[in-house]
């Protein structure tokens, strides 16, 4: 197979950030995706429907002319979120709200400490049909960082699912075999996104032979057994697993630091990176549904009508991307050869 034509995919998990960074991140995602869920963990976070609409406007203004791309908005849940705010969000076309356990990751300080306090909000989301997007990691400092996802699932997610049987939940950026099994065994209201880094890498790639800060993200990369479970899930043909890159840019000096930020920047080549993973597994025939069907179906959106074409052609991921402010981003797999390239949309 030398070319691969796919339904225009969607990315159900992207950190575009804000301000001058949008000139890089918005065109990067719009190049290969028809829609993307914009994560709300700005500083300050996107907490109200009004703030979400204003943010959507800034994202739209950063689009190149004549590109078919629609940003999809999500609200950031805090302990102050009300049911009325959820109802208003629904009226204004906001599809989802994101649960960050307080302290779990970048800009999660305003997130939720006491998840049970949010049950009335989950009730409203269930009634209004908003999706609950979950950063599924426990924040208890006693819990080992490699166990935080599995712990969160048992301690927090299982009870939420039991209490809200109609609430659609996406467990974002899953990183463990336990998460794969939990999602597989869960009800049809439960799905998961998988990132390219969790498909392509495991913790040896981050820690063996030197520490590689550009592979550091949250949930942190796990051992190979988990990577393999994620790879099996992605190519399984199960509609519960779909594309969400979690592209999360931090400038180079904030990653190459004594306390480096979590996040991997994959937006400019996200589709090519997924194609690489699927090709490694001899499963390119499964890429279209993972990238362009299952997520839209789960969100209740029409699948995109347009197509994209990938061509088999070796190329090298650039070592850096220059930002308008003079800073730099180091993309996922910088300097590595990939074997598929986006041709035309
Ligand atoms: O690695 C990550 N980076 N994980 C997250 O959950 C947040 C993200 C970010 O915003 O930088
Ligand atoms: Zn994220």
Residue 48 near ligand 1, beta carbon < 6 Å = no
Distances in Å between the Cα of 36 and the Cα atoms of 96, 132, 244, 278, 290 are 12, 16, 9, 21, 14
Distance 240 CA to ligand 1 centre (A): 22
Average confidence score pLDDT of the chain: 97
Residue 197 near ligand 1, beta carbon < 6 Å = no
* 322 carries an active-site annotation: no
Give the number of the ligand closest to the Cα of residue 18. 1
pLDDT at residue 134 tops 80: yes
Strand 169-171: give its sheet, edge to edge.
10-14, 35-38, 70-76, 96-99, 131-134, 169-171, 190-194, 241-243
Average pLDDT over residues 163-167: 98
Catalytic residue among 246, 279, 282, 285: 246
Tell me which residue has its CA closest to atom 2 in ligand 1.
263
Residue 135 near ligand 1, beta carbon < 6 Å = yes
Average pLDDT over residues 322-327: 93
Q: For residue 224, give the nearest of 265, 268, 175 by alpha carbon.
A: 175
Residue 106 near ligand 1, beta carbon < 6 Å = yes
Ligand 1 atom with the shortest distance to the CA of 100:
6
Average pLDDT over residues 110-119: 91
| C-beta separation of 94 from 52 below 8 A | yes
Give the number of the ligand closest to the Cα of residue 197. 1
Name 316's bridge partners.
Answer: 337
Tell me which residue has its CA closest to atom 10 in ligand 1.
106
Q: CA 114 to CA 132: how far, in whole Å?
A: 16
Q: Beta-carbon neighbour count of residue 311 at 10 Å?
A: 14
Q: Which two tokens stand for residue 250?
A: 């931090």
pLDDT value at residue 277: 98
Give the number of the ligand closest to the Cα of residue 104. 1
Ligand 1 atom with the shortest distance to the CA of 104:
6
Q: How many separate helices (H) and strands (E) can be counted in the chain?
A: 14, 13
Q: CA 289 to CA 297: how far, in whole Å?
A: 10
Is the pTM value of this prediction over 0.85?
A: yes
Distance 14 CA to ligand 2 centre (A): 7
Name 17's bridge partners.
Answer: none
Ligand 1 atom with the shortest distance to the CA of 261:
11
pLDDT digits (tens, 9 = 90+) for 58-105: 999 999 999 999 999 999 999 999 999 999 999 999 999 999 999 888
| C-beta separation of 53 from 90 below 8 A | no
pLDDT value at residue 103: 86
pLDDT digits (tens, 9 = 90+) for 186-240: 999 999 999 999 999 999 999 999 999 999 999 999 999 999 999 999 999 999 9
Name the band, by pLDDT with cuts 50, 70 and 90, for residue 123.
very high
Q: CA 122 to CA 82: how far, in whole Å?
A: 10
- Give the 3-state secondary structure of 195-249: CHHHHHCCHHHHHCCCCCHHHCCCCCCCCHHHHHHHHHHHCCCCCCEEECCCECC
Residue 55: Cβ-neighbour burial (10 angstroms; 0-12, 13-18, 19+): buried
Q: Which helix (H) or strand (E) holds 298?
A: helix 294-299
Residue 310 near ligand 1, beta carbon < 6 Å = no
Can you tell me which residue has the tokens 């730099």? 328
Tell me which residue has its CA closest to atom 3 in ligand 1.
263
Ligand 1 atom with the shortest distance to the CA of 250:
11
pLDDT value at residue 344: 72
Probe target for ligand 1 pocket from 45, 46, 139, 217, with the most ligand atoms within 8 Å of CB: 217
pLDDT digits (tens, 9 = 90+) for 233-264: 999 999 999 999 999 999 999 999 999 999 99
Give exposure, 179-208, as e/b (b: 16+ Cβ within 10 Å): bbebbeebeebbbbbbbbbbbbbbbeebee
User: Across 84-189, where does the E strand assignment appear?
Assistant: 96-99, 131-134, 169-171
Q: CA 7 to CA 304: how far, in whole Å?
A: 6
Its CATH class, for the domain covering 9-304, is alpha beta
Ligand 1 atom with the shortest distance to the CA of 264:
1
Can you tell me which residue has the tokens 């061509």? 311
Name 190's bridge partners.
Answer: 169
Can you tell me which residue has the tokens 């990691």? 137
Residue 263 near ligand 1, beta carbon < 6 Å = yes
The Cβ-side half-sphere exposure at 74, using a 13 Å CA radius, reads 27
Give the number of the ligand closest to the Cα of residue 220. 1
pLDDT digits (tens, 9 = 90+) for 19-55: 999 999 999 999 999 999 999 999 999 999 999 999 9
Q: CA 100 to CA 78: how far, in whole Å?
A: 8
Distance 69 CA to ligand 2 centre (A): 20
Q: CA 131 to CA 42: how far, in whole Å?
A: 20
pLDDT value at residue 104: 82
pLDDT digits (tens, 9 = 90+) for 267-311: 999 999 999 999 999 999 999 999 999 999 999 999 999 999 999
């Amino acid at each position: 197979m030398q070319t691969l034509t796919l339904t225009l995919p969607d990315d159900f998990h992207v950190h575009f950030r804000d301000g001058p960074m949008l000139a890089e991140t918005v065109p990067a995602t719009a190049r290969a995706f028809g829609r993307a869920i914009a994560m709300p963990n700005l500083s300050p976070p996107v907490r109200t429907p009004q703030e979400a609409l204003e943010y959507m406007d800034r994202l739209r203004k950063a689009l190149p002319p004549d590109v078919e791309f629609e940003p999809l908005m999500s609200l950031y849940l805090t302990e102050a979120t009300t049911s009325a705010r959820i109802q208003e969000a629904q009226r204004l076309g906001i599809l989802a709200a994101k649960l960050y356990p307080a302290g779990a990751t970048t800009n999660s300080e305003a997130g939720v400490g006491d998840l049970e306090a949010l049950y009335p909000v989950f009730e409203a989301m269930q009634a209004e049909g908003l999706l609950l997007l979950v950063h599924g990691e426990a924040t208890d400092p006693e819990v080992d960082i490699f166990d935080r996802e599995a712990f969160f699932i048992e301690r927090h997610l299982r009870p939420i699912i039991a209490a809200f049987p109609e609430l659609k939940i996406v467990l974002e950026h899953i990183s463990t075999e336990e998460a794969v099994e939990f999602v597989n065994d869960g009800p049809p209201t439960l799905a998961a996104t998988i990132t390219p880094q969790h498909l392509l890498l495991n913790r040896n790639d981050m820690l063996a032979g030197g520490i590689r800060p550009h592979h550091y993200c949250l949930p942190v990369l796990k051992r190979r057994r988990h990577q393999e479970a994620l790879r099996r899930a992605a190519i399984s043909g199960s509609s519960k697993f779909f594309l969400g890159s979690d592209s999360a840019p931090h400038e180079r000096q904030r990653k190459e630091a004594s306390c480096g930020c979590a996040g991997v920047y994959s937006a400019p080549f996200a589709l090519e990176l997924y194609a690489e993973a699927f090709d490694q597994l001899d499963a390119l025939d499964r890429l279209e549904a993972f990238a362009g069907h299952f997520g839209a179906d789960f969100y209740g959106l029409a699948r995109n009508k347009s197509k994209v074409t990938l061509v088999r052609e070796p190329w090298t991921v650039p070592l850096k991307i220059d930002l308008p402010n003079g800073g730099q981003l180091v993309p996922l797999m910088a300097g590595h050869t990939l074997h598929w390239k986006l041709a035309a949309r």
